[in-house]
């Protein structure tokens, strides 16, 4: 699960977020509910997770219940991988 | 008591935060409650959403709130549903409330039925189809159908979200919690309601300390009230009349506030969601500084967050996952564009349930397609690889944001002005008179835009948390709340009679106008000119016209749509079917052999009888009241019962014939007198004249010329030719020339009326009285008197007939300004008094029996 969380964190830092001003990205930082990540960005992230971990998301799984924090992403992707 | 205090102040078993007992908290609750009472006063004073009983609903919400806080947490969701059902008895007549509550519970039972998703979906779809068929067939005839627009807003979007959760088996809540999701109290007085997501609603229930939720809820209500006040300012005092659009600055002054009128919906949604928050649901923000969006996708995220989330959840993601095989970015662009078309379709769906029809218009299509295209373009821009080395200097960044926000705001104002027009040609025609007369015109236009730029600067530099200068902090809840409450108190006091009169004398502005949920000068003018005749009012939710139209029962049709009306291909345009009975505006109308709303009259007058003929439009026709309550009947009764009329030395019997037909204007009286009136040999012909006389005649003339009807009179044909009226095909073009031509024709027609009457021994009488929403100034009365008397009319002044009356007390309904029973009683009384006062001019001797 740590691998998933690291990959997600790196992805967000690399492609999405502008953290140059020192904004922290912790495992429990709200992503969707805080507006830090919008719907388009979420889809890019989902695409990344699908390709990286060879999984497939269902449309209703793209929501803040599963993807709002790095912790939640880690758990959800992990449960997908293990089936 | 101790137990209830425990319940009020303890933490519940699920760890949800209630209020801890402390002096500070009690003071906070008292401040909130006083603030709510002040908001209640504002709602009453400013007649906020009066057509939808917001005031009554708000009172229920405020008075039930303290009791709600005393209930154990587990009882609260169910009690919220009970409050909603009980509130309908405060908002609607008893029988209507019973039907509404039964329908609400019936639909809730359908949604909450413990069956499989497929069965539930099938039941919901079948019920919807059945209801749609029933609504389409019986909306103008069935009383039951008239409740559909009140009940369906509870379900048409929340039902979809609920089914979505049900499908994915995520609903685990108790039935009482599910019921509370549907039976939302504020929905009773808001057919347009924010789309609250099921999961968000359920999860937000006391998810933070209770007091902080109440504080946020109260602040949201306060904000909403101030926004509604701001809307009234823009609507009544800033938005200009379309006839005044002559320069680029005028055009901007017309276009820019159009987008700002959305403040009405923003304010209303803040109030509605704020009320729900007062009941413990910590709902997320619904709008986010939308006037300062720096891109179109940014605007889409800010303009109505709940709607955007609904579209994304139910449509965007499912569509995207189906099309993403064409590539991530093309898939997103295609999905974005498609979702805007879906938004359009859903708006139509909503209008159908509210209005019974949802015509597809070009302006709708243009608006949603243009908005969708702009957002899709922004999605493409957003998805391009970013240059990480490109860092803007903070000053440059702010300037960039200010310019981008100005561009987005201007573009949206432009799109909104088209969207709220009846058609593209009508919109183009508004600007057909715009000319740059001098360099000053250009400067004026820039000056207007610079006001927005200035406000945007203040926002980005001082207010917006993400861009403001470091060190500037947000004000505390107390500061915000007390400032807001002081402001509300001030604006409520400003419209009280002594202060508003003083302000009007000092500034020349009628401040009281703002406190009325009524049309502004521009809309009233446009309506009089028929600008909105073909407009699907549903688009124009930012105008009180939407209120008026929406609150109107579905069977409250215009005369032209009623079975009474027959079209004619001449100057009279319309008439009534003879010897016919039909329900019209809630009363039964019966016509005589002549097609008049009156009893039978022989064309031959009985000896010793004085005949009065009334010529008029809808006011004289008296829609919505029984014929025995109309002022014609009441006037006739007074003549019979209370007065004795003598002409010369002989005592006369009296008869009053009502020739009024809804929609007739002064220019039609002459033709009606010739075709119908003369053969009844009246002794007096009363021609009723109201406010907006000129506008109605001009609109009539425009119609006749456009339809190329035979204008009958050589003088009319000559004037049409002289002013080349056939060359004008739009409202804006016609304003100057038509006004002049109408003046000429009205004067000629009035002269001809007097002459014709005189040749047939009829005394022509000019009766002046205002519409219920209007009044005549002394100067206007004198001008009318001088005009009428110069032409040879006897002038009767009824200008003070409604003086001192509250508009609400003399109108048929919020959506129909025709006089009600009381209004007609006042007119009859005033008309009798005017006749007595002018008996000498009428060559009569009128004595009280």
Tokens of B664: 């007739």
CA distance B60 to B271: 14
Q: What is the pLDDT of residue B812?
A: 87
Closest CA to B632 of B669, B601, B660: B660
Q: Is ipTM strictly over 0.85?
A: yes
How far lies B651's CA from each of B434, B610, B643, B837, B846, in Å? 63, 10, 11, 19, 10
- What pLDDT is attached to residue B536? 41
- Tokens read off for B492: 């409520």
Cβ pair A60:B168 closer than 8 A? yes
- pTM to 2 decimal places: 0.77
**pLDDT at position A22:** 45
pLDDT, residue B451, reads 81
**Three-state secondary-structure class, residue B485:** helix
What is the rounded radius of gyration, in angstroms, for the C-alpha atoms of chain B? Answer: 31
Listed range (B145-154, B663-672, B737-746) with the worst mean pLDDT: B145-154
Burial of B619 (0-12, 13-18, 19+ CB in 10 A): buried
Determine how many CB atoms are found less than 10 A away from the CB of residue A72: 18
Shortest Cα distance, chain A CAs vs residue B313, angstroms: 7
Selecting from B313, B324, B332 the residue whose C-beta is nearest the C-beta of A40 gives: B332
- List, for residues B28-76, the tens digit of each pLDDT value: 899 999 999 999 999 999 989 887 889 999 999 999 999 998 888 888 9
Of A35, A40, A63, the CB nearest to B383: A40
- pLDDT tens readout for residues B664-682: 988 999 999 999 999 999 9
Nearest to B249 by CA among B3, B257, A40: B257
Residue B164: list chain A partners with CB under 8 A: 60
Find which of A40, A51, A68 to mutate to test the B interface (most B CBs within 10 Å of its CB): A40
State how far residue A59 is from chain B, nearest Cα, in angstroms.
Answer: 5
| Contact residues, B window 350-409, toward A, CB-based 8 Å cutoff | 379, 382-383, 391
Range of the domain at A74: 2-16+25-82
Tens of pLDDT along B565-611? 999 888 999 999 999 998 888 889 999 999 999 999 999 988 889 99
pLDDT band per the 50, 70, 90 thresholds, residue B7: very low
C-alpha pair distances (Å), B542 with each of B47, B262, B289, B419: 16, 6, 18, 11
Q: Which of residues 584-613 of B touch A (CB under 8 A)?
A: none
CA B536 to CA B669: how far, in whole Å? Answer: 32
Q: Given this model, what pLDDT does residue B544 score?
A: 65
B20 in A contact zone (CB under 8 Å): no
Position B359 pLDDT exceeds 60: yes
Is B164 part of the contact surface with chain A (CB cutoff 8 Å)? yes
Interchain contact, B321 vs A20, CB within 8 Å? no
Place A23 in a pLDDT band, splitting at 50, 70 and 90. low
Q: Write out pLDDT tens, residues B412-441.
A: 999 988 887 777 887 887 777 777 777 777
Chain A residues whose beta carbon lies within 8 Å of the beta carbon of residue B284: 33
Task: Looking at the complex, report in whole angstroms how far the Cα of residue B666 sits from the nearest Cα belonging to chain A.
Answer: 60
Question: Is A40's CB within 8 Å of B312's CB?
Answer: no
pLDDT of the residue at B538? 44
pLDDT digits (tens, 9 = 90+) for B454-474: 887 887 777 776 666 666 666
DSSP B587: E
User: Mutating which of B317, B328, B333, B382 best tests the A interface, going by the most A Cβ atoms within 10 A?
Assistant: B317
Contact A59 B318 (CB under 8 A): yes
**With pLDDT > 90 as the criterion, what percentage of chain B qualifies?**
47
Confidence class of residue B3 from pLDDT cuts 50, 70 and 90?
A: very low
Compare B208 and B747 and report the one with higher pLDDT.
B747
B757 versus B695: the higher-pLDDT residue is: B757
In angstroms, what CA-CA distances link B66 with A25, B61, B69, B177, B210?
41, 10, 5, 20, 13
Distances in Å between the alpha carbon of B154 and those of B84, B103, B796? Answer: 11, 11, 52
Read off the pLDDT band of B532 (50, 70, 90): very low
**For residue B189, what are the CA distances in angstroms to B62, B67, B87, B152, B796?**
15, 22, 10, 13, 43
- Looking up residue A65, the CATH number of its domain turns out to be 1.10.1200.10
Whether pLDDT at B713 is above 60? yes
pLDDT value of position B245? 80
Interface test with A, best of B167, B321, B391 (most A CBs within 10 A): B321
Which band of pLDDT confidence, cut at 50, 70 and 90, is reported for residue B549?
low
pLDDT confidence of residue B19: 66
Nearest to B93 by CA among B121, B120, B53: B53
Q: A-contacting residues of B 290-309, CB under 8 Å? A: 297, 301, 308
Confidence label for A17 from pLDDT (cuts 50, 70 and 90)? low
> Quick one: three-class SS letters along B50-101?
HHHCHHHHHHHHHHHHHHHHHCCHHHHHHHHHHHHHHHHHHHCCHHHHHHHH
**B214-266 residue pLDDT tens:** 999 999 999 999 999 998 888 888 877 766 788 888 888 888 888 888 898 99
Mean pLDDT of chain B: 86
Say how far apart CA B576 and CA A44 lie, in whole Å.
66
Statement: residue B552 has pLDDT above 80? no
How many whole angstroms separate alpha carbon B614 and alpha carbon B103? Answer: 47
Say if residues B183 and B85 touch (Cβ distance below 8 Å).
Answer: yes
Mean pLDDT of the region B517-533? 58
| Share of chain B residues as helix, strand and coil, in percent rounded to the nearest 5 | 60, 10, 30
pLDDT at B21: 62
pLDDT higher than 60, residue B2: no
For residue A43, give the nearest of B301, B318, B332 by CB distance.
B332
pLDDT over 70 (residue B524): no
Exposure letters B188-226 (e unless 16+ CB within 10 A, then b): bbbbbbbbbbbbbbbebbbeebbbebbbbbbbbbbbbbb
| B window 246-285, beta carbon within 8 A of A | 284
Per-residue model confidence as pLDDT tens digits over B759-772: 999 999 999 998 88
Pairwise CB contact (< 8 Å): B321 & A65: no
- Cβ-nearest to B382 among A33, A40, A60: A40
Inspect the interface and report whether the beta carbons of A44 and B312 lie closer than 8 Å.
no
pLDDT score for B525: 58
Contacts of B2 (CB under 8 A, 6+ apart): none
Q: Quickly name the fold that domain B611-848 has.
A: Rossmann fold (3.40.50)
Q: Say yes or no to pLDDT of B735 above 70.
A: no
Lowest mean pLDDT among A37-46, B198-207, B627-636: A37-46
Judged by CB atoms closer than 8 Å, whether chains meet at A44 and B383 is answered as yes
Given this model, what pLDDT does residue B228 score?
93
Using CA atoms of B290, B291, B292, B295 in order, give the dihedral in degrees to the nearest 10. Answer: 70
Least confident of B368-377, B383-392, B535-544, B547-556: B535-544
Please give the average per-residue pLDDT across B396-405, as a whole number.
Answer: 85
Which H/E stretch holds residue B643? strand B643-647
Residue B15 confidence (pLDDT): 52
Looking at the complex, does the CB of residue A62 fall below 8 Å from at least one CB of chain B?
A: yes
Q: Provide the sign of the torsion angle of the four alpha carbons B264, B266, B270, B272, taken in this order.
A: positive
Span B203-214, mean pLDDT?
89
CA closest to B380 among chain A residues: A40
Would you kindly state where each structural domain of chain B is located, as residue ranges? 611-848
> Is the pLDDT assigned to residue B555 strictly greater than 90?
no
- Using 50, 70 and 90 to split pLDDT, how confident is the model at B515? confident
Q: Is the pLDDT of residue B384 over 50?
A: yes
pLDDT at B517 over 70: no
DSSP B794: E
| CA proximity to B267, closest of B32, B536, B517 | B517
For chain A, counts of helices (H) and of strands (E): 4, 0
User: In angstroms, rounded to a whole number, what is the distance separating the alpha carbons of residues B559 and B662?
Assistant: 7
pLDDT in the model for residue B733: 60
CA dist., res. B622 & res. B633, Å (int)? 10
pLDDT tens column, B282-310:
999 999 888 888 889 889 888 889 999 99
* Cα B687 to Cα B757: distance, rounded to the nearest angstrom: 12
pLDDT over 60 at B194, yes or no: yes
């Amino acid at each position: 699960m740590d691998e998933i969380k690291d990959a997600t964190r790196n992805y967000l830092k690399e492609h999405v977020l502008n953290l140059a001003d020192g904004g922290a990205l912790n495992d429990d930082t709200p992503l969707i509910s805080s507006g830090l990540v919008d719907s388009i960005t979420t889809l890019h992230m989902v695409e990344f997770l699908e390709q990286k971990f060879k999984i497939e998301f269902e449309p209703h799984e793209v929501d803040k219940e599963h993807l709002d924090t790095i912790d939640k992403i880690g758990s959800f992707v992990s449960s997908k991988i293990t089936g | 008591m101790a137990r209830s205090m425990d319940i009020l102040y303890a933490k519940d078993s699920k760890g949800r935060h209630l209020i801890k007992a402390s002096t500070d908290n009690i003071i906070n609750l008292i401040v909130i409650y006083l603030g709510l009472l002040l908001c209640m006063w504002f709602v009453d004073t400013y007649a906020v959403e009066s057509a939808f009983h917001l005031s009554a609903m708000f009172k229920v919400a405020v008075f039930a709130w303290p009791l709600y806080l005393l209930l154990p947490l587990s009882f609260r969701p169910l009690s919220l549903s009970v409050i909603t059902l009980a509130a309908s008895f405060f908002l609607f007549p008893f029988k209507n409330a019973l039907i509404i509550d039964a329908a609400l519970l019936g639909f809730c039972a359908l949604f909450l039925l413990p069956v499989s998703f497929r069965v539930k979906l099938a039941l919901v779809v079948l019920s919807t189809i059945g209801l749609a068929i029933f609504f389409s067939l019986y909306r103008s005839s069935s009383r039951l159908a008239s409740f559909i627009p009140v009940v369906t807003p509870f379900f048409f979007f929340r039902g979809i979200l609920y089914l979505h959760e049900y499908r994915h088996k995520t609903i685990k809540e108790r039935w009482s919690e599910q019921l509370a999701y549907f039976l939302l109290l504020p929905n009773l007085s808001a057919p347009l309601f924010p789309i609250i997501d099921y999961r968000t609603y359920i999860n937000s229930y006391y998810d933070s300390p209770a007091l902080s939720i109440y504080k946020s809820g109260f602040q949201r209500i306060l904000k909403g009230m101030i926004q509604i006040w701001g809307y009234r300012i823009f609507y009544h005092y800033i938005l200009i009349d379309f006839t005044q659009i002559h320069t680029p600055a005028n055009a901007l002054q017309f276009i820019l506030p159009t987008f700002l009128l959305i403040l009405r919906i923003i304010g209303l949604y803040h109030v509605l969601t704020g009320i729900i928050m007062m009941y413990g649901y910590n709902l997320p923000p619904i709008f986010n500084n939308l006037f300062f969006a720096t891109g179109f996708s940014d605007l889409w995220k800010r303009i109505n967050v709940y709607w955007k989330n609904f579209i994304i959840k139910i449509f965007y993601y499912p569509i995207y996952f189906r099309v993403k095989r064409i590539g991530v970015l093309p898939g997103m662009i295609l999905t974005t564009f498609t979702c805007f078309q879906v938004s359009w379709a859903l708006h139509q769906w909503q209008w159908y349930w509210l209005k019974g029809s949802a015509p597809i218009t070009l302006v709708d299509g243009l608006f949603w397609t243009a908005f969708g295209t702009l957002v899709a373009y922004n999605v493409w821009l957003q998805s391009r690889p970013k240059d990480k080395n490109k860092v803007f200097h903070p000053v440059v960044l702010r300037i960039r944001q200010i310019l981008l926000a100005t561009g987005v705001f201007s573009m949206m104002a432009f799109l909104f002005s088209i969207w709220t027009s009846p058609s593209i040609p009508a919109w183009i025609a508004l600007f057909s008179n715009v000319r740059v007369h001098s360099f000053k015109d250009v400067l004026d236009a820039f000056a207007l835009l610079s006001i927005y730029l200035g406000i945007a600067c203040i926002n980005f530099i001082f207010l917006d948390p993400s861009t403001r200068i470091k060190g500037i902090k947000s004000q505390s809840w107390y500061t915000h709340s007390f400032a807001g409450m002081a402001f509300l108190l001030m604006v409520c006091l400003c419209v009280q009679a002594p202060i508003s009169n003083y302000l009007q004398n000092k500034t020349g502005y009628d401040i009281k106008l703002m406190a009325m949920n009524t049309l502004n000068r521009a809309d009233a003018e446009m309506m009089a000119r028929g600008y909105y005749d073909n407009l699907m009012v549903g688009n124009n939710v930012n105008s009180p016209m939407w209120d008026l139209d929406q609150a109107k029962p579905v069977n409250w049709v215009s005369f032209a749509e009623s079975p009474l009306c027959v079209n004619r291909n001449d100057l009279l345009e319309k008439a009534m079917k003879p010897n016919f009975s039909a329900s019209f505006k809630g009363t039964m109308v019966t016509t005589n052999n002549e097609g008049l709303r009156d009893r039978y009259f022989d064309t031959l007058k009985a000896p010793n009888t004085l005949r009065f003929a009334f010529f008029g439009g809808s006011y004289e026709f008296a829609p919505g009241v029984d014929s025995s309550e109309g002022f014609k009947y009441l006037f006739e009764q007074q003549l019979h019962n209370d007065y004795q009329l003598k002409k010369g030395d002989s005592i006369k019997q009296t008869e009053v014939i009502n020739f009024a037909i809804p929609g007739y204007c002064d220019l039609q009286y002459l033709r009606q007198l010739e075709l119908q009136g003369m053969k009844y040999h009246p002794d007096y012909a009363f021609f009723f004249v109201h406010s907006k006389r000129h506008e109605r005649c001009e609109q009539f003339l425009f119609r006749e010329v456009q339809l190329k009807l035979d204008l009958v009179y050589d003088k009319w044909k000559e004037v049409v030719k002289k002013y080349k009226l056939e060359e004008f095909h739009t409202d804006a073009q016609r304003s100057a020339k038509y006004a002049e031509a109408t003046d000429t024709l009205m004067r000629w027609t009035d002269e001809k009326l007097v002459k014709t009457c005189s040749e047939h021994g009829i005394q022509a009488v000019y009766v002046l009285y205002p519409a219920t929403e209007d009044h005549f100034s002394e100067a206007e009365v004198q001008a009318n008197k001088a005009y009428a008397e110069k032409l040879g009319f006897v002038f009767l002044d009824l200008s003070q007939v409604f003086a001192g009356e509250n508009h609400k007390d003399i109108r048929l309904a919020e959506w129909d300004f025709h006089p009600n029973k009381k209004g007609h009683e006042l007119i009859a009384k005033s008309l009798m008094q005017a006749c007595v006062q002018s008996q000498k001019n009428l060559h009569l001797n009128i004595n009280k029996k």
